[in-house]
Amino acid sequence: MITENIDIIWTILGIITIVLLIIFWRKRNAVWGGLTVGIIIGFIFTIFYLFQGSGFNWFIIGKGAILGTMIGFITELLGKISNFVREKE
């Protein structure tokens, strides 16, 4: 029951991530940088689990990509808010 709910949450976050990547497609920004860093960190964790004997797990890389994209979006949003506040002064 709990595992199914967690899978649904990751699926919803994955869909949101795809939408964010489509929205921010045009230029280099923190969303795409977050995706890249998330994939790299997820790959490092996957290699760590591989050496522990748990096997290669693509879901860890996917979760890293999702989290990295979300963090990149928050960073991009904070930058836009900062520019808005700075222009308002």
Q: Domain residues of the chain, as ranges?
A: 2-88
Label residue 27 by pLDDT band (50, 70, 90): confident
Structure tokens at 50: 């591989």
pTM of this structure: 0.86
Separation between Cα atoms, residue 64 and residue 52, nearest integer Å: 19
Q: Is 71 exposed, middle or buried (CB count within 10 Å of its CB: 0-12, 13-18, 19+)?
A: middle
Structure tokens at 30: 């923190």
Nearest alpha carbon to residue 34 among 26, 24, 48, 46: 24
Residue pLDDT, tens place only, 59-89: 999 999 999 999 999 999 999 999 889 888 7
